[in-house]
Amino acid sequence: MLGEATAPGKMILFGEHSVVYRGPAVVLAIDRRAKVIAGKRDDEKVYIDADNLGFSGYFEGDEYHAVRGKAWRGRNLAALNMSTRKTMERLDVESGVNLKVRSMIPIAVGLGSSAAVNVATVGAVQRLFDGDLSKEEISNIAFEGETIIHGKPSGVDNNVSTFGGVMSYERGKGFNHHQIEGSIPFIIGNTRKKRSTKKMVETVAVLRERNPALMDNVIDVMGSIASEGLDALLKKDLKRLGDLMNINHGLLSSIGVSTMKLETLCHTARANGALGAKLTGAGGGGCMIALAEETELAEVERAIRRRKSDSYRVSLTDRGVESRRIEEKNADS
The residues carrying an active-site annotation are 157
Closest residue to ligand PMV, judged by C-beta, is: 281
Of residues 201 through 260, those in contact with ligand PMV by CB under 6 A are 201
Site string for ligand PMV, 266-285 (x = CB under 6 A): ---------------xx---
Task: Out of 13, 19, 124, 247, point to the residue binding ligand PMV (CB under 6 A).
Answer: 19
Closest CA to 99 of 76, 67, 77, 74: 77
In the complex, minimum distance from the CB of residue 41 to ligand PMV, in angstroms, rounded to a whole number: 33
Stretch that binds ligand PMV, among 11-19, 30-38, 44-52, 74-82 (CB under 6 A): 11-19
Query: Which residues lie below 8 Å from residue 75, measured CB to CB, with a gap of 6+?
Result: 149
Choose between 14 and 64: whose C-beta lies nearer to ligand PMV.
Answer: 14
Q: Minimum distance from CB of 155 to ligand PMV (Å)?
A: 10
Residue 311 binds ligand PMV, judged by CB under 6 A: no
* 153 secondary structure, DSSP code: -
Nearer to ligand PMV, 128 or 288 (CB): 288
Could you say which of 98, 114, 154, 259 contacts ligand PMV (CB under 6 A)? 154
In the complex with ligand PMV, which residue's Cβ is closer, 37 or 262? Answer: 262
> In 183-237, which residue ranges form alpha helices assigned H by DSSP?
197-210, 212-234
Residues 280-309 touching ligand PMV, rule: CB under 6 A, are 281-282, 286
Strand 25-41 relative to strand 276-280: parallel, antiparallel, unpaired?
Answer: unpaired
Q: Which residues contact 203 (CB under 8 A, 6 or more apart)?
A: 256, 257, 284
Q: What DSSP designation does 316 have?
A: B
The residues, ordered by sequence, that sit 6+ positions from 1 with a Cβ below 8 Å of its Cβ are 128, 325, 326, 327, 328
Which of 2, 13, 17, 103 is in the footprint of ligand PMV by CB under 6 A?
Answer: 17
What are residue 278's DSSP bridge partners? Answer: 289
3-state DSSP percent of the chain in helix, strand and coil, to 5 = 45, 30, 25
Binding interface with ligand PMV (CB under 6 A): 12, 16-17, 19-20, 110, 154, 197, 201, 281-282, 286
